[in-house]
Amino acid sequence: MPYTTRLPVACGLFGRNCQACHPFLQFKRTQVCVGHSQEKGIILGVYSDPEDVKGASFTQTAMDFDKESGGKMSHALHVAGTIPKLGEYRLLLETHPGFSVVAMAGLGPECVGYNEVEDMDEEKENIRIATSVGARGLQNIGIRSIMTESMGSAESAAEGTALGVWVFQEMKDVKRQIPIPGIGLYDSCDYTGWQIGLQKASAQNLARQLSEIPSNILTPIGFAQSSVDILAKAGVSVEVKVKAWAKIMDLNAFLAAGSGSCEPPVFVELSYYGCEPDTPPLVLIGKGVTFNSGGLCLKTCEEQKDMRGDKSGAAVVVGAMRAASALNLPMNIRGIIPLTENMPGPCAVKPGDVIRSKSGKTIVVEDTDFDGRLMLADAMTYAGIYNPKAIITIGTVAKNTIEGLGGGATAGFSNNESMIDQFRIAGIHTGDRVWRFPLWKHYNCKVLASPVADSGDNHIARAYGDPCAAAAFLREFLPPGVDWVHLDNYGTYHTDGTDIPYLRGPGMTGRPTRTLIEFLAQAACKYDEGAEDVVVEDKKVCPDNNHVTGVGA
């Protein structure tokens, strides 16, 4: 019997007038619609058999193109000798009158879908890879207008293309910047799927950009101002609270985290209303350390070089909130972004200091590098004023997460079986996986073992399950009776450029933005009584000349 599991359908809710030309570079209104350049290119798919390097079959759209070109495309590939494998492409010049260049992108084997071992819909992931490498190949030769076929999933094609052509270059001279091409869907009527994919990719690209901007430019105040500029026009309310307010609210752990910096801390609250205002919201909390030097427990120079990305959790929340508004999700979402900078200084928090958090519990600081735990602790307690349906925290909290997962998945912790499973399902759809780590009482004993305070931020040695201990520490500050998921993206916030083909590297990834959006869409489906389930099988029959979809979305 084939392995099956029940997956909810991801929602595509476009109640608002969503424009086709949605910016995926927020600081410059670079459009993702098709431009007016004379140089036009198109991405077409070709399947390849790993056991037969010369054997191949075109997608239906590619077959139609080949007929229109009089067989020029198939002849050109035959002359080349080998068919592009997954992650490879071939550029064919002057083979079709409508396009100056055709990028034939390898899709890998034709009959793929949900892979139980990989815990991923390989069909969708292969489409993202193929469209991204094809788009980047066209971009590299100066093509300004790129069309792509859906290859079986317009949403995945949009994600791969938009993620693939994006590059952070705001700090470069204009003459050295790579032009960002316009992109469009060629062969499919699935406009809704294409728009959903663009919104997801746009949100992740926004998170990538916010994570990349250097800390001397995007200070806590600068991040807050960018959040206002980005979200206010997207229909999301933004409130910026300053240091004096935080003192009044007894956010002492949050204030301690940034006490060594000359940059004042900022506490940002975001509000999106997609249903009745009195409906309990889902709360997103993103760690926003614009630069983490480690404080008095100073990091090494090697460790500090990418610490502008320690605000990636906050960036993910901003991107997800904008996407939720654009998708008009029927739910209420509150966002909390504590922003600060962790630096050594005369007023910096010291190892051994004891802080009384907003919850009233005392915390002994054993490592000033663990600023995120202090910030998130107060933010979680504060979130209780919303009477939340659930709380999701995102941030680079435990460095040892890298040793356990590398960049393969974001670590997930939860006190609710259903919620963490929904994140796993969301990761199957998006290809950006979440893998559950334990949240056992075993780790609570270590966190609560401090002889001088109620809890310690590093009372368990790093070599002994620090990611789990960090989550156990945060759970101590969770409002009673609230469902909670903690996403530790320390292993996934940055890429060296070799692990994810559709993310240009080295640089910030914006992960797990799309998975969070997918989770929100699935959660919103629960408000819709007509939502259906989809059966996913790891074995399938592949009919002749028919591309079978894996995980339904």
Given this model, what pLDDT does residue 17 score?
31
Q: How is residue 179 written in tokens? A: 């032009």
Average pLDDT over residues 509-535: 77
**At a CB cut-off of 8 Å and minimum separation 6, what does 412 contact?**
420, 423, 424, 434, 435, 436, 437, 485, 486, 487, 488
> How would residue 2 be classed by pLDDT, with cut points 50, 70 and 90?
very low
d(Cα 202, Cα 105) in Å, to the nearest integer? 22
Q: Which residue has the higher pLDDT, 140 or 536?
A: 140
Domains observed in the chain: 4-206 (3.40.220.10), 214-525 (3.40.630.10)
Omega of the bond prior to 2 within 30 degrees of 0, cis? no
> How would residue 18 be classed by pLDDT, with cut points 50, 70 and 90?
very low
Given this model, what pLDDT does residue 491 score?
96
**Residue tagged 């999301």 (tokens):** 236
pLDDT, tens only, 351-379: 999 999 999 999 999 899 999 999 999 99
Given this model, what pLDDT does residue 56 score?
74
Average pLDDT over residues 170-193: 92
Average pLDDT over residues 528-532: 42
Task: Say which range, 15-24, 151-160, 501-510, has the weakest mean pLDDT.
Answer: 15-24
Which residues are annotated as catalytic?
Answer: 299, 373
Query: What pTM did the predictor assign?
Result: 0.88
pLDDT, tens only, 469-485: 999 999 999 999 999 99
Given this model, what pLDDT does residue 79 score?
84
The DSSP bridge partners found for residue 339 are 266, 288
Average pLDDT over residues 453-482: 80
Sign of CA dihedral 487, 490, 493, 496: negative
Task: Say which range, 25-34, 107-116, 523-532, has the weakest mean pLDDT.
Answer: 25-34
Given this model, what pLDDT does residue 69 score?
87
> How would residue 455 be classed by pLDDT, with cut points 50, 70 and 90?
low
Average pLDDT over residues 343-352: 96
Task: Say which range, 224-228, 379-383, 532-536, has the weakest mean pLDDT.
Answer: 532-536
* DSSP helix/strand/coil, 270: strand
> How would residue 9 be classed by pLDDT, with cut points 50, 70 and 90?
very low
Q: How is residue 67 written in tokens? A: 């007929």
H or E segment to which residue 159 belongs: helix 154-165
Average pLDDT over residues 166-192: 93
d(Cα 294, Cα 305) in Å, to the nearest integer? 12
> How would residue 94 be classed by pLDDT, with cut points 50, 70 and 90?
confident
Residue 416 has pLDDT above 90, yes or no: yes
Given this model, what pLDDT does residue 549 score?
26
Average pLDDT over residues 203-230: 98
Give the rounded percent of residues in the chain with a pLDDT score beyond 90. Answer: 75
Q: Which residue has the higher pLDDT, 12 or 422?
A: 422
**Rounded mean pLDDT of the chain?**
87
Given this model, what pLDDT does residue 95 score?
85
Q: Contact 497/132 with Cβ under 8 angstroms?
A: no
Give the rounded percent of residues in the chain with a pLDDT score beyond 70. Answer: 84
Given this model, what pLDDT does residue 38 score?
52
Sign of CA dihedral 403, 405, 408, 414: negative
The DSSP bridge partners found for residue 356 are 362
Residue 517 has pLDDT above 90, yes or no: yes
Given this model, what pLDDT does residue 105 score?
97
Polymer length of the chain: 553
Average pLDDT over residues 450-463: 58
d(Cα 467, Cα 443) in Å, to the nearest integer? 10
The DSSP bridge pattern shows strands 40-49 and 494-495 to be: unpaired
Average pLDDT over residues 527-539: 39
d(Cα 356, Cα 322) in Å, to the nearest integer? 34
Q: Contact 504/129 with Cβ under 8 angstroms?
A: no
pLDDT, tens only, 100-142: 999 999 999 998 999 999 999 999 999 999 999 999 999 999 9
Q: Which residue has the higher pLDDT, 83 or 314?
A: 314
**Residue tagged 């959006």 (tokens):** 517
> How would residue 78 be classed by pLDDT, with cut points 50, 70 and 90?
confident
- Which range, 23-37, 257-271, 461-475, is most confident? 257-271
Given this model, what pLDDT does residue 445 score?
76
Residue 60 has pLDDT above 60, yes or no: yes
Residue 80 has pLDDT above 80, yes or no: no
CA distances from 198 to 39, 69, 182, 514, 527 (A): 22, 30, 12, 11, 24
